[in-house]
């Protein structure tokens, strides 16, 4: 959420930022409500000062054994005026908040302006694998090797739900254990295993609500949502808390299942592992001082890249343009691996700096020697990695001409030394 004071002083800059994110907000309406609220606040403060003065005069009258009846009447009259204004102030606060939570974050000045066509490739690693045979898709490979059962997954839960089995299930478990080990042992993250269900306040704190409500799975009888990413419960660990500056930065990592309705993706690459309603993911979340957040973003991206390098999967890093940024992000890098069976690039990680946007919504602050008043932290998060597409990339990039799958070297200790997946 943006600071209303910043909005008040930077209307023109915000209009340009909203245009860059393809968003329309009635800022004139917001400003009118803000002005009305400030005028009423000023009136209430004036009345409270008069009430305090009247109270002092009543005390003097009592001390001087004079009749305070007229002063008491004045104080009661002032109280009635305050009581008449406060409900309106409360309503205005709600109206302003309802608009503020719908305003996206402002993109960082380094972010290219435009739509997806303006995304910039920052770097790449490895060479796209070339084979001397016609590569199969991960769907063909998984069904032939009996490691993923797409049909039974659909039978159990519906379309775009996945049933891993045999070495497929084993590799899925190996992947997230491997990723957690790297992030905790080499990158300095503390491991968390959070709830997979969160309340509306948590979803609002990270920016999923109210903007993306239709893409979430909500329980019918409870104010609870299935998490779309571990970002939500982990970021809300410190909701409504004041952290100590000396404890920053704080790094957390977690494995969770993730649940997304993908309501707006009808007809968009919905086969196989590309776009599913439930998938596993290892997440990285950072709470940092504002001065350090962009340096920490680069380190976050490097942490995600390390996983791909250890898996020996060729990838590229894209800096997203304003029109492709998420609602809450100020800057974001996507990591994409090459699918040789489908012949396309697929996102396996998205690493974002939200600056103080989430922290303001979730009220996460810190205080130090040089910060007499608590200030908002900066939050960052990134996939390290999303497993469905990482699994897809391994199956397609490690396939042999015989339709077998070579197990990446780093995963073999997690799979009992297994070197390849073969037909039964």
CB atoms within 10 A of CB 251: 20
Antiparallel, parallel or unpaired: β 190-192 and 120-125: unpaired
CB within 8 A of 336, min separation 6: which ones? 315, 316, 318, 345, 346, 347, 348
Instruction: Give the pLDDT confidence score for residue 265 in this predicted structure.
Output: 57
Using left for φ > 0, alpha for ψ between -120 and 50, and beta otherwise, residue 240 falls in: left
Instruction: Give the pLDDT confidence score for residue 268 in this predicted structure.
Output: 60
Query: What's CA 351's distance to the chain center, in Å?
Result: 9
Instruction: Give the pLDDT confidence score for residue 267 in this predicted structure.
Output: 53
- Low-confidence stretches of the chain (pLDDT < 50) are none
Instruction: Give the pLDDT confidence score for residue 391 in this predicted structure.
Output: 98
Query: Using H for helix, E for strand and C for coil, what is the string for 91-137?
Result: HHHHHHHHHHCCCCCCCCCCCCCCCHHHCEEEEEECCCCCCCCCCCC
CA distances from 402 to 66, 149, 221, 399 (A): 105, 20, 51, 8
Distance CA 281, CA 266 (A): 23
Query: Using H for helix, E for strand and C for coil, what is the string for 180-246?
Result: HHHHHHCCCCEEECCCCEEEHHHHHHHCCCCCCHHHCCECCCCCEEECCCCHHHHHHHHCCEEEEHH
pTM above 0.85, yes or no: yes
Distance CA 356, CA 327 (A): 13
CB atoms within 10 A of CB 376: 20
Instruction: Give the pLDDT confidence score for residue 20 in this predicted structure.
Output: 97
Contact, 215 vs 266, CB < 8 A?
Answer: no
Q: Give the residue extent of every domain in the chain.
A: 4-100, 116-421
Q: From 1.10.246.90, 1.20.120.80, 3.40.50.300, 1.10.287.40, which CATH number describes the 4-100 domain?
A: 1.10.287.40
Distance CA 72, CA 68 (A): 6
Instruction: Give the pLDDT confidence score for residue 60 in this predicted structure.
Output: 86
Distance CA 354, CA 296 (A): 12
CB atoms within 10 A of CB 10: 15
Burial 334-367 (b: 16+ CB within 10 A, else e): bbbbbbbbbeebbbbbbbbbbbbbbbbbbebbbe
**What's the length of the chain?**
424
pLDDT tens, position by position, 328-338: 999 999 999 99
Instruction: Give the pLDDT confidence score for residue 58 in this predicted structure.
Output: 86
Distance CA 17, CA 2 (A): 12
**Superfamily of domain 116-421, CATH level 4:** Bira Bifunctional Protein; Domain 2 (3.30.930.10)
């Amino acid at each position: 959420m943006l600071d209303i004071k910043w909005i008040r002083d930077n209307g023109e800059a915000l209009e340009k930022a909203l245009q860059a994110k393809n968003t329309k907000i009635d800022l004139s309406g917001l400003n009118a409500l803000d002005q009305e609220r400030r005028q009423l606040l000023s009136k209430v403060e004036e009345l409270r000062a008069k009430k305090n003065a009247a109270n002092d005069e009543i005390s003097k009258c009592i001390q001087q054994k004079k009749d305070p009846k007229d002063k008491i009447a004045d104080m009661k009259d002032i109280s009635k005026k305050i009581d008449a204004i406060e409900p309106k102030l409360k309503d205005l606060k709600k109206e302003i908040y309802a608009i503020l939570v719908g305003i996206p974050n402002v993109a960082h000045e380094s972010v290219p302006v435009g739509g997806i066509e303006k995304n910039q490739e920052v770097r790449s690693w490895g060479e796209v694998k070339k084979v001397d045979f016609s590569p199969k898709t991960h769907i063909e490979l998984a069904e032939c090797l009996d490691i993923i059962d797409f049909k039974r997954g659909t039978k159990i839960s519906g379309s775009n739900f996945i049933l891993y089995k045999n070495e497929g299930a084993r590799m899925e478990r190996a992947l997230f254990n491997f990723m957690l080990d790297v992030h905790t042992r080499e990158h300095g993250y503390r491991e968390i295993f959070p709830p997979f269900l969160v309340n509306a306040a948590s979803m609002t704190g990270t920016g999923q609500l109210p903007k993306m409500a239709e893409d979430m799975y909500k329980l019918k009888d409870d104010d609870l949502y299935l998490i779309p990413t571990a970002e939500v419960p982990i970021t809300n660990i410190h909701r409504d808390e004041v952290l100590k500056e000396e404890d920053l930065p704080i790094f957390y990592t977690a494995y969770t299942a993730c649940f997304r309705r993908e309501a707006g993706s009808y007809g968009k690459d919905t086969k196989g592992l590309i776009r599913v309603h439930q998938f596993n993911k290892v997440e990285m979340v950072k709470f940092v001082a504002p001065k350090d957040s962009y340096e920490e973003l680069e380190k976050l991206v490097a942490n995600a890249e390390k996983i791909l390098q250890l898996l020996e999967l060729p990838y590229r890093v894209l800096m997203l343009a304003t029109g492709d940024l998420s609602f809450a992000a100020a800057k974001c890098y996507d990591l994409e691996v090459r699918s040789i069976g489908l012949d396309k690039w697929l996102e396996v990680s998205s690493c974002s700096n939200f600056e103080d946007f989430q922290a303001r919504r979730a009220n996460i602050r810190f205080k130090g020697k040089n910060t007499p008043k608590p200030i908002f932290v900066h939050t960052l998060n990134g996939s390290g990695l999303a497993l469905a597409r990482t699994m897809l990339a391994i199956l397609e990039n490690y396939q042999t001409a015989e339709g077998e799958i070579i197990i990446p070297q780093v995963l073999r200790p997690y799979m009992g030394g297994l070197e390849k997946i073969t037909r039964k």
